[in-house]
Chain A
Amino acid sequence: MNAATATTKKIETPAPRAFLSLRGMSWVAWRGNRTALLLLIAFTAGVTAYCVYHRFGVVEFLNSPRLAELGGLRHADEETISKLIPVVQFLPAALGVFIGAPLLASEYENRTLRLTSTQSVGRLRVVMTSVAVPLVVVVLCTSVLSAALTSLWHPARGVYNRGNWWDSGIFFATGPLPVAFSVFTVSAGILAGAVLRRSVAAMAITFVGPAGTGVVALERLRTWLAEPHRLLYPAGADSPELKPGEVQIDNWVATADGQVHGWGTCVKFSEKKSEECRAELGIVNDAIDYVTLAQMPGLQWTISGILLVMAAVAIVSTVWWTHRRSL
């Protein structure tokens, strides 16, 4: 719109509706990030509707005799869940880069934090509200997304990906994890933006750091935190069949009293030398470590707790830094 040629016409600000009865700094924070947050809400609505629609089909199939005939999920249902997992799994990284990092950095770039901080509201409140409003929307949207995918996967948890919840990505895309990871990446992005005061630099740091490295670090953290069950069986015998939802995550060779050695221990060039080695170490068993589906929620909540603590540290650091520094 060309301001110079446009006619002067007063546009009455519409009275806030019940849903968005935002006041004060909350309204400013919402309006300042409206486009990005509305996109996120629309994306959430779309994916949720997709999940709900497919859930009907999955549940119907699971209750039908065809499940026994096929011995697993239909290929189309497998595909649907497999496509949705990375969408929810990697959304937190995108939120950190595109919502978190530019949040305060763009305020610094456009000097608008100087504008809001010189109104009648204290700078502490300005910063806290600017951070809180997008975080609340992110928490709501990722909670809905996670719940939608969880509700699609949960009825089929024993059969989807043959019950392997450890390797399919579903672990990171359901339950509290997408929410906690999103809160962490967005908070870390906000901190990067507050310190660097440049949107592009903050987005790059967030992409490489909390978002990119975070995805890898979460897998490491899961392995480190997992307390697997151990199953011993005679060396050379067929490994025992695990039940649906039980996932083998490691294997060993073991002595009669349960002491384990790496899987490659006593793998020698000749069978004779291998035998001698096994006899010397007393290896008589093979062992597998496995996790059960019952362990999944506990692990998810533990990792989420760690992420939320780190997010809280990032938020407190942001508020402290922004409140202390000159604008």
Chain B
Amino acid sequence: MSGTSHPYAIEAEDLGRKYLRGWALRECSFRLPTGCVSALVGPNGAGKSTLLSIAARLLRPTTGSLRLFGKEVGDPEAMRHVAFVDQERPLYKRFTVAETLRMGRELNPRWDQAAAERIVEAGKVPFGARVGSLSSGQRTRVALALAFAKRAELLLLDEPMADLDPLARHELSSLLLSEAVERGLTVLMSSHLLSELEEMCDHLVVLAGARLRMIGQVDELVPAHRLVTGLADPGPGEGAGVLPAGVAGHHTVIESRFSGRQFTALLRTDRDPGGAYESVEPSLEEVLLAYLRSAEAPPLISPASRLSAEATAAAPHAEGKAA
């Protein structure tokens, strides 16, 4: 069965991973539609690498389950459909670049040697050079060549752009997008900087504090919010203002800040609150930062990213409030 015939590349249900020091990921339930290019964003230690490692079968989840194209992540069949680029780009240092590509050929039945060579040649990486002698950017290029040439349907990339120069970043972004469009690839790539991935991605997964904070198509996440400014109501204490009842009472407040008697609030609503408030559509960055700063705000999981009804019933606590 081709992996792409399934509508969802990733389905996570109550997924969690606990270490001695605490939870690295918990109560994570979502699904990622096949064919989307998704940014996995969150601060350092948010659980991004943990989620990717579980999907790459390197970590076993402590709770819950993960399915790739409908198959349990432990199913050997699922491995062929997934390519993974590790954050630290592990490669055999004594292998030459050509031998590294041979390794890819030996271990992957659908290996595309021409694609791998094309990516390596584009970066002017010598085939005869030992991997240990390459710069970190060149190593990243070789690691990406291995992942692309595997001809998997799902690419999991952990900080793929971190050590690439702007030219290489641009070139590999173009390659990624063209591959995604031509072959219907699903991509999930992590970064702690949204700006690194913003132009490439049509889908966003946000993790913070080991929990899922936001997930959905970029063009449906932003319009679901309004950035409202106006005069705050006088609060019970000296100088402290509170959000007007017309704002706080009718909408889900993600974040509010006060400056003198002025307030600025990010609301989860698709319509203006009316009244004497100024309301604009926030930028993606503003929405993201508000969710990252407000740990108590309910997570936003777009309808398309929610698990089906029966899966939801199994893990109701992970869904949060609907947008």
Q: Does A31 contact B (CB under 8 A)?
A: yes
User: Which A1-55 residues have a C-beta within 8 angstroms of B?
Assistant: 1-4, 6-13, 23-25, 27-28, 31-32, 35
Q: Which residues of chain A have C-beta atoms less than 8 A from B93's C-beta?
A: 110
- Please report the C-alpha to C-alpha distance between residue A249 and residue B207 in the assembled complex, in whole angstroms: 72
Q: Does B91 contact A (CB under 8 A)?
A: yes
B106 touches A6 (CB 8 A): no
- Please report the C-alpha to C-alpha distance between residue A112 and residue B139 in the assembled complex, in whole angstroms: 13
Q: Does B304 contact A (CB under 8 A)?
A: no
Q: Does A118 contact B (CB under 8 A)?
A: yes
Q: Which residues of chain A have C-beta atoms less than 8 A from B133's C-beta?
A: 1-3
Q: Does A251 contact B (CB under 8 A)?
A: no
Give A322 Cβ to nearest chain B Cβ, in Å.
12
Q: Which residues of chain B have C-beta atoms less than 8 A from A117's C-beta?
A: 57-58
B127 touches A8 (CB 8 A): yes
* Interface residue range, chain A: 35 or more
Q: Which residues of chain B have C-beta atoms less than 8 A from A31's C-beta?
A: 92, 95, 99, 103
A7, A13, A32, A117: most-surrounded residue (chain B CB, <10 A): A13
Q: Does A115 contact B (CB under 8 A)?
A: yes
Q: Does B98 contact A (CB under 8 A)?
A: yes
Stretch touching chain A among B78-86, B180-188, B281-289: B78-86
Knowing A7-B126, A24-B107, A117-B58 are in contact, say whether A13-B98 is a contact too (CB < 8 A): yes
Give B6 Cβ to nearest chain A Cβ, in Å.
18
Q: Which residues of chain B have C-beta atoms less than 8 A from A10's C-beta?
A: 98, 117, 121, 127
Of chain B, the residue at the smallest CB distance from A5 is: B126
Q: Which residues of chain B have C-beta atoms less than 8 A from A8's C-beta?
A: 121, 124-127
- Please report the C-alpha to C-alpha distance between residue A115 and residue B57 in the assembled complex, in whole angstroms: 11
- Please report the C-alpha to C-alpha distance between residue A13 and residue B106 in the assembled complex, in whole angstroms: 12
B126 touches A6 (CB 8 A): yes
- Please report the C-alpha to C-alpha distance between residue A268 and residue B106 in the assembled complex, in whole angstroms: 77
Stretch touching chain B among A65-73, A119-127, A156-164: A119-127
A111 touches B86 (CB 8 A): yes
Give A95 Cβ to nearest chain B Cβ, in Å.
20
Task: Tell me which of A11, A115, A120 contacts B90 (CB under 8 A).
Answer: A115
B98, B106, B138, B150: most-surrounded residue (chain A CB, <10 A): B106
Q: Which residues of chain A have C-beta atoms less than 8 A from B90's C-beta?
A: 110-112, 114-115
Q: Which residues of chain B have C-beta atoms less than 8 A from A28's C-beta?
A: 103, 106-107
Give A57 Cβ to nearest chain B Cβ, in Å.
42
Give A4 Cβ to nearest chain B Cβ, in Å.
7
A120 touches B79 (CB 8 A): yes
A119 touches B92 (CB 8 A): no
Q: Does B229 contact A (CB under 8 A)?
A: no
Task: Tell me which of B58, B88, B104 contacts A326 (CB under 8 A).
Answer: B58
Q: Does B168 contact A (CB under 8 A)?
A: no
Q: Does B135 contact A (CB under 8 A)?
A: yes
Q: Does B59 contact A (CB under 8 A)?
A: yes
Q: Does A116 contact B (CB under 8 A)?
A: yes
Knowing A24-B107, A120-B109, A122-B79 are in contact, say whether A6-B128 is a contact too (CB < 8 A): yes
Q: Does A306 contact B (CB under 8 A)?
A: no
- Please report the C-alpha to C-alpha distance between residue A327 and residue B117 in the assembled complex, in whole angstroms: 29
Of chain A, the residue at the smallest CB distance from B123 is: A8
Of chain B, the residue at the smallest CB distance from A26 is: B106
Q: Does B96 contact A (CB under 8 A)?
A: yes
Q: Does B56 contact A (CB under 8 A)?
A: yes
Of chain B, the residue at the smallest CB distance from A126 is: B107
Q: Which residues of chain B have C-beta atoms less than 8 A from A2's C-beta?
A: 133
B98 touches A11 (CB 8 A): yes
Q: Which residues of chain A have C-beta atoms less than 8 A from B109's C-beta?
A: 120
Give A284 Cβ to nearest chain B Cβ, in Å.
71
B79, B90, B94: most-surrounded residue (chain A CB, <10 A): B90
Q: Which residues of chain A have C-beta atoms less than 8 A from B58's C-beta?
A: 114, 117-118, 326-327
Give B200 Cβ to nearest chain A Cβ, in Å.
22
A122 touches B76 (CB 8 A): yes
- Please report the C-alpha to C-alpha distance between residue A119 and residue B101 in the assembled complex, in whole angstroms: 12
- Please report the C-alpha to C-alpha distance between residue A181 and residue B128 in the assembled complex, in whole angstroms: 39
B84 touches A118 (CB 8 A): yes
Q: Which residues of chain B have C-beta atoms less than 8 A from A23's C-beta?
A: 106
Q: Does B280 contact A (CB under 8 A)?
A: no
Task: Tell me which of A11, A27, A118, A119 contacts B127 (CB under 8 A).
Answer: A11
B53, B58, B59, B84: most-surrounded residue (chain A CB, <10 A): B58
User: Which B99-137 residues have a C-beta within 8 angstroms of A?
Assistant: 99, 101-104, 106-110, 117, 121, 124-130, 133-135
Q: Which residues of chain B have C-beta atoms less than 8 A from A4's C-beta?
A: 135
Q: Does B169 contact A (CB under 8 A)?
A: no
6 example contacts (A-B, Cβ-Cβ < 8 A) are as follows A25-B107, A27-B103, A32-B94, A117-B57, A120-B80, A120-B107
- A residues whose Cβ falls under 8 Å from a Cβ of B: 1-4, 6-13, 23-25, 27-28, 31-32, 35, 110-112, 114-123, 326-327
Inter-chain pairs besides A9-B127, A11-B128, A117-B57, 10 sampled, C-beta below 8 Å: A1-B133, A6-B129, A7-B126, A8-B121, A115-B92, A119-B107, A120-B109, A122-B76, A123-B57, A326-B53
